[in-house]
A and B are shown apart, each in its own frame.
Chain A
Amino acid sequence: MLEMLGINKSFPGVKALDDVTFAVRRGEVHALVGGNGAGKSTLMKILAGATLPDSGEISIRGEKVSITDPETARKLGIAIIYQELNLVPVLNAVENVFLGCEIRKKGGLLDKAAMEKAAAGLFRRLELKVSLKEPVGNLSVAQQQMIEIAKALHLNAEILVMDEPTAALTDHDIDTLFDIVLRLKEKGVTIIYISHRLEEIYRICDRVTVMRDGKIVGTRDTDKLSQQELIRMMINRDLTQVFPASACSGGREVLRIENLTRKGVLHNINLRVCAGEVVGITGLVGSGRTELVRAIYGADPVDSGTVWIDGEKVSIKSPHCAVRCGVGFVPEDRKEQGVILRMAVKDNMTLACLPLIARSGVVNDRQERRQALQLVEKLNVKTSGLTQLVGNLSGGNQQKVALAKWLATNAKLLIFDEPTRGIDVGAKTEIYSFLRELAREGLAVIMVSSDLLEILGLSDRIYVMYNGTITGELPGTGACQEKIMSLAMGAAI
């Protein structure tokens, strides 16, 4: 049905796809799996015409085609349903399905009756039970997804790509979705199913293709492949990067959390972090890692749970409370949450500790400059000066600024969410040794990361999350990628 041959694609500094050959049969549900950065999304973007490959061929139904833009892809019967749904929330199902291809009467007026009739027929054929008149913003995520599917099939899609479709669904909705997927399959629609969840892959997919580091590892029939083998195919990488040695002595308990719950997101989380240790938290996309640390920091509300800091029971209701309790947080989204791009390096660095270098509200300029200068030197930030705007720095140096912000405070616990995402290898290594140094100085450090190498290389202890719960706690030494991956994918071990 679909064949992609020898696809290559490079981005500056990265080879995203390296001679990828990928084939899908007519009418099958084909799983595409791989860790973050494996190349799945890039491959699908090429299929959808959103990105052009550097080289390679694509053929559909045995005919060589050239997909240069999304419009061509649509005409060839390819449709993608992204994780972020592409519907206009204030319009209803009918209006959304016909968006951009409305049926018109003579004179250009909309023929609402004809569209409603056609939509009703379409939904009946697909056996989708969705209210046609309600603005889709009022419908559940599952129902919105069905409307997306209907929209795709209305355009006669024969190849349907679904990117993590169950990420935001409840168990019941997942069942409904799978019924639809199987019905579509019976009708001869070919489905490429991207997912991280093992259980789903085994439940509905006929074959699975594994990608890793921009290459295809292999394609197998799901019924002839064990979970363990599949996991091994996904992770087989070498520990090549250099991580600083751990020197954990397990000091006093700085953070202790019991039964932290945020309805629908986090369920009964228990964890503790001691002074002098780096604790890694990992899990797949949507497992609740970021949500957990944001809840600890007071950035998102929680429904229940108890938190102790330095043995004292505290209630952290806002980031302000957290900072006062001695907690610092370097968020995942550097540009939107970590640093203020239009502000100077100095001003960003002293943002969290400003009251400490001010007297009755007046900032001590000289002390502030000295403070910032020390941080620039300590972290080796490459900047033309203290008044340079942070937006003009490279990603790695921006991250160092986001990190520097907390060093001048009296923080006892620092939380890093994906501290090395999107930065170059040199800066990564510096940040690793820096985190280790912080721990050595007696701070408690939490590092959230989806990079298993990073987690294994740096953590003294590892918590693995799946679906909003902690599925396992492992010691840093002796843990292996396979074990973490099994826990992260919700496999029974």
Chain B
Amino acid sequence: MPGLGAGLSAFWPRLRTRAKPVFSIYTAFLLLVIIASFLSPTFLLRTNIFNVLRQASALGILSVGMTFVILSGNGGVDLSVGAVVSLTTCLAAGIMMNQSSMVLPAVLAVMGVGLLIGLFNGTMITRFKTDPFITTLGTMTVTQGLAMYYTKGAPFGGTPPGFRMIAEGYVGFVPVPVIIFLAVFAIGLFVLRQTVFGRYIYAIGGNQEVARLSGIRVNRYKMAVYVISSMLAVLAGLIMVARVSIGDPKLGYGFELDAIAATIIGGTSFAGGVGGMAGTIVGVMIIAVMNNLLNLLNVSPFLHGVVKGLIILVAIIMQRKK
């Protein structure tokens, strides 16, 4: 079949150029999986694999948003997402109070709050030209504080059984949060690769002034990126509150740093404009598999941070070499 041959020969170089930047990180992930399956007999069991994916889903959703923000460059980063997760769990559980009738109002309320936080971050950064790091550090602190005040610092509220399906349900044999995570990831991948919006994000991250002089309304797109990040944090928060059935102001603590780590391990440049979703998902999976493996091997949880930190450092050194 000459047609197929020609099609393949045209497809292969394209795949190679696309896969090139993430090739080493995929190899590293594969190695990790192989090592893990040797070290722990339970690692490759279907239940364990879905367990890993389920635990990765909230972080994965946050990391998709973080990838947009970091790609947009010019110091772009969103430190407020962890706090938004916390506040979402508290508000959602607090409004629901175990009543099914309050699910919809609660979801709308947290979405509204997420939208406001994203718009606030975006406005500060685009309109008042504040530094994203400091700005989102401020919003993070305020949001965290609000969650603490609302719950008086202790776990609070509750979710009705139906709502827990979001975290505990299955479609076929795949857990619902995994489906949500993969859908968000697929949409993120598509938006970045195939849409005008995605291309503009790369352009703004690559060089904001060139983008502006090419007629791109830079501020509008940067604003959108922070809103996307906040809204995805709300989604992650809803999945988390469904899992633990109670609002907890400390649930999202440090989450933003994991999301940044996953994005950077996945090869997205902190300078912006280079990288993408294909790397981020592996970054998320590396962190998730590592956590899982350390648990399976009964390594002290207090050592997890050391391992994660070392992986980040190695990933950064690998990127420097390129």
Contacts and interface: CB of A to CB of B under 8 A. Distances in A.
B194 A340 contact: no
Interface of A: 297, 299, 318-320, 322-324, 329, 331, 336-343, 347, 351-352, 354-355, 358, 361-363, 365, 387, 405
B304 interface: no
B148 interface: no
B21 to A, nearest CB: 11
Contact of A351 (B17, B197, B211): B211
Nearest to B208: A340
A336 B210 CA distance: 7
A354 B210 CA distance: 15
A215 B59 CA distance: 66
Contact of A343 (B202, B209, B213, B216): B202
A69 B196 CA distance: 51
B319 to A, nearest CB: 14
A489 B196 CA distance: 47
Nearest to B206: A340
B27 interface: no
B69 interface: no
A299 B210 contact: no
Given A340-B206, A340-B211, 15 more contacts: A299-B212, A299-B213, A318-B217, A319-B215, A320-B215, A320-B216, A336-B209, A340-B273, A341-B206, A347-B199, A347-B202, A347-B203, A351-B199, A351-B210, A363-B196
A342 B206 contact: yes
B199 A342 contact: no
Interface in B211-228: 211-217
Contacts of A337: 207, 209-210, 213
Interface string B183-215: 000000000001111011011001101111111
B102 interface: no
Interface in B265-285: 273-274
B213 A319 contact: yes
Among the interface residues A320, A339, A351, which one has the most CB atoms of the partner chain B within 10 A? A351
A354 B217 contact: no
A337 B200 CA distance: 15
Give the interface size class of chain B: 20 to 34
A323 B195 contact: no
B209 A365 contact: no
13 contacts: A299-B212, A299-B213, A319-B215, A324-B215, A337-B207, A343-B203, A351-B199, A354-B196, A355-B196, A358-B196, A362-B195, A363-B196, A387-B17
Contacts, number: 73
A319 B202 contact: no
B195 A320 contact: no
A352 B197 CA distance: 13
B214 A405 contact: yes
B215 A342 contact: no
Contacts of B203: 340, 343, 347, 351
B207 A319 contact: no
Nearest to B215: A323
B215 A352 contact: yes
B231 to A, nearest CB: 18
A361 B197 contact: yes
Given A336-B209, A337-B210, A341-B207, A351 B216 contact: yes
Contacts of A361: 195-197
Contacts of A320: 215-217
Interface string B61-98: 00000000000000000000000000000000000000
B215 A322 contact: yes
A481 to B, nearest CB: 31
Nearest to A343: B206
Contacts of B202: 343, 347
Closest 9 CB pairs of A and B: A323-B215, A340-B206, A351-B214, A340-B207, A352-B214, A320-B215, A358-B196, A361-B195, A354-B196
B196 A329 contact: no
A365 B194 contact: yes
Among the interface residues B200, B210, B212, which one has the most CB atoms of the partner chain A within 10 A? B210
B195 A358 contact: yes
B295 to A, nearest CB: 39
Contacts of A322: 215
A340 B210 CA distance: 7
Contacts of A405: 214
Nearest to B14: A387
Contact of B274 (A338, A342, A351): A342
A338 B217 CA distance: 16
B215 A363 contact: no
A244 B52 CA distance: 68
Interface in B282-312: none
A262 B26 CA distance: 54
A309 to B, nearest CB: 15
Contact of A319 (B17, B214, B273): B214
A387 B18 CA distance: 10
Contacts of B212: 299, 318-319
A340 B212 CA distance: 12
Nearest to A331: B213
Contacts of B211: 340, 351
